[in-house]
Amino acid sequence: MPQTITEKILSRVIGRAVTPGEIIYPEPDLITTHDWYVVNFDSALQALGVDRLYAPEKLLISTDHEPVAVSRQAAERQHAVRAIVRKYGIEHFYDVGRGGHGHIFPMELGYVAPGMLVLAYDPHVTNYGAVGCLGVSLVVEISEVLACGSAWIRVPDTVRVNLQGTLQPGVTVRDVAQRMIVDLGSDLVDYTVVEFGGPALAAIDVDRRMTLCNTPVEIGAKSSLFETDQITEAWLKPRIGDRFEHIRSDPGANYKAAIDYGLGLIEPQVAAPPTPDNVVGVSTVAGTKVDYAFIGSCANSSLADLRDAARILRGRKVSAGVRLIVTPGTQQIAAEAAAEGLVKVFIDAGAVLTAPGCGPCAGGRIGPLAPGEVSINTGTRNDPGRLGPRDADIYLASPLTVAASAVMGRISDPREFVH
């Protein structure tokens, strides 16, 4: 029977053909978690009387949510994480300054390959779909996987999205991602895997594919992934060598829906408070005063994203009264940005760079807002309290839109800067 990419991956993992809707107990190829959950999973295992991990060699831990300890509590948490790593003999531990964001650097370092199943604590593990890997978040059930090797999941249906057309100048894949979750809607994609294909893939690099894979989870998708192509191979094969194999759905595979999605008419989009799917065209909110801007997060901290921001900021200054924070996704991205001169562009513009990782997106531990302030940023979520006080307003947008808004001091259309 023809299978989707997701069905192929799950069938391989459990050793037989799967059917959407059935309950399975897959053993993942890789497990990931971050510094904020390590102490919790250790406590959960202790409560169960478990003193070892089922497969410690499969676990990868990253210090990305709070790489710079900004409080005594944070420093004590980091200290506890390092002790837990030693306790369980975890080899794949990427502490401060060694990796960066756990949804990005494992792809850079060759941990992730097409056709793999990765189970994680954090929802945005779906980034790995950029290279044809199925990343699924189990949240707290990840402790069960660490103890027993697996946990149940229901085999999801697949929604196929065929990307077509060409983006207008000043419009980015982040704009597509934000518009798409409105157009698809939660009724369609809830507990499905969104599978991307179509002729427009030829113009979308791996950096930007991460952005598309990052977003559907915000309306209930179980995961998102791309079929592999020459772009995937060129980016990933130097990192994983002979482990690279293409993966695509079979002709005739059964989809919950198959949608042709045009890119040519999309304009810059902004997610207004209080949810990521409250998306409007930039003109609707243009002119809104901005206090704080941020470029980073697992959605938009790639080298391509930093290049986009630098296009706007080069030769310009951040508006008086606006703070702009830039957080590269990984150590490698930070180094490449420095080598290209992007870091100098940001510093000259008046931006502040932070350690690679989540940056302010992780609950505002680094650079929170004050009550009543307004932020525009490239983070993943804008729910009340995400950056500290519940009465601060958060708008989500592309790196181009955020950079343009930081320069102007108000939410602005980046097409005024990009021709």
* pLDDT surpassing 90 at residue 62: yes
Residue where one domain finishes, among candidates 262, 295, 323: 262
Q: Which residue reads 């000043």 in tokens?
A: 170
* pLDDT tens digits, one per residue of 68-79: 998 999 999 999
Q: Which of 122, 98, 92 is nearest to 355 (CA)?
A: 98
d(CA 230, CA 399): 26
* pLDDT tens digits, one per residue of 336-353: 999 999 999 999 999 999
Assess whether 275 and 356 both reside in one domain. Answer: yes
Average predicted confidence (pLDDT) for the chain: 98
Residue 293 phi/psi, 5-degree rounding, is: -130, 145
Structure tokens at 254: 């059964």
Where residue 367 falls among pLDDT bands split at 50, 70, 90?
confident
Assess whether 138 and 171 both reside in one domain. Answer: yes
Cα 394 to its chain centre, rounded Å, is: 18
Q: How far is CA 349 from CA 129, 352, 411, in A?
A: 34, 9, 18
**Long-range residue pairs from 341-349, CB within 8 A, at least 24 positions apart, any chain:** 342/306, 342/307, 342/310, 345/310, 345/313, 345/314, 346/309, 346/310, 346/313, 349/313, 349/314, 349/316, 349/317, 349/318, 349/324, 349/407
* pLDDT tens digits, one per residue of 105-150: 999 999 999 999 999 999 999 999 999 999 999 999 999 999 999 9
Assess whether 251 and 279 both reside in one domain. Answer: no
Phi/psi class of residue 160: alpha, beta or left (left: φ > 0; alpha: ψ in -120 to 50)?
beta
Domain count, the chain: 2
* pLDDT surpassing 90 at residue 366: no
Looking at residue 265, its pLDDT comes to 96
Assess whether 92 and 208 both reside in one domain. Answer: yes
CA atoms within 13 A on the CB side of 175: 25
DSSP 206-262: HHHHHHHHHSGGGGT-SEEEE---HHHHHHHHHHHGGG-----PPTT---SEEEEEE
Assess whether 387 and 246 both reside in one domain. Answer: no
Where residue 47 falls among pLDDT bands split at 50, 70, 90?
very high
Domain boundaries, position 34: 5-262
Looking at residue 38, its pLDDT comes to 97
Dihedral sign of CA atoms 100, 104, 105, 111 in order? positive
Average pLDDT on 303-324 reads 99
Assess whether 207 and 278 both reside in one domain. Answer: no
Assess whether 209 and 281 both reside in one domain. Answer: no
Decide: 325 and 298 in contact? Cβ < 8 Å.
no
Assess whether 381 and 312 both reside in one domain. Answer: yes
Assess whether 211 and 339 both reside in one domain. Answer: no
Residue where one domain finishes, among candidates 262, 291, 326: 262
Where residue 398 falls among pLDDT bands split at 50, 70, 90?
very high
* pLDDT surpassing 90 at residue 30: yes
* pLDDT surpassing 90 at residue 362: no
Assess whether 244 and 310 both reside in one domain. Answer: no
Q: What percent of the chain has pLDDT above 90?
A: 98
Looking at residue 365, its pLDDT comes to 78
Residue where one domain finishes, among candidates 231, 262, 293: 262
Average pLDDT on 219-237 reads 99
Decide: 193 and 221 in contact? Cβ < 8 Å.
yes
Average pLDDT on 44-56 reads 97
DSSP structure class, residue 416:
G
Assess whether 227 and 359 both reside in one domain. Answer: no
Q: What percent of the chain has pLDDT above 70?
A: 100
- The domain that holds 393 is classified in CATH as 3.30.499.10
* pLDDT surpassing 90 at residue 103: yes
Residue 384: cis peptide before it, omega within 30 degrees of 0: no
* pLDDT surpassing 90 at residue 201: yes
Q: How far is CA 350 from CA 92, 318, 366, 368, in A?
A: 36, 6, 18, 18
Structure tokens at 219: 């309306």
* pLDDT surpassing 90 at residue 416: yes
Assess whether 273 and 241 both reside in one domain. Answer: no
Cα Rg, the chain, nearest whole Å: 21
* pLDDT surpassing 80 at residue 262: yes
